Amino acid sequence: MRLIKPALIYFILIFATGFALALIRIPFLVPRLGERWAELVELPFMVLASFLVARWLVQRFGLVTVMQCIGTGLPALLMMLSAELAV
């Protein structure tokens, strides 16, 4: 139960980042570059955001073992996949 809160925070922050970047990608990059290239331009920013948020969560919630990190990341991944499929 202790890992649900950081998983939810991770999901919300990364989903919000993806949403914000999509507001730039779709109207400005897709017409000029095409869908696939626009996604490839966005990819490094999403990876950086994922890394920074994960590092912050590890520090903030004291996730010290690999199992704690997996226990946080896996539910966040399942929430992200569910949200992507729903939208």
Domain ranges of the chain: 4-86
pLDDT value for 1: 74
Can you list the residues of the chain whose pLDDT is less than 70?
none
Q: What is the pLDDT of residue 6?
A: 96
Can you give the pLDDT at residue 62? 93
Q: How far apart are CA 69 and CA 63, in angstroms?
A: 6
Q: How are the residues of the chain apportioned to helix, strand and coil, as percentages rounded to the nearest 5?
A: 90, 0, 10
pTM: 0.90
Q: What's the maximum distance between 2 C-alpha atoms anywhere in the chain?
A: 46
Helix (H) or strand (E) run with residue 69 in it: helix 66-86
Q: Are 18 and 48 in contact (CB under 8 A)?
A: no
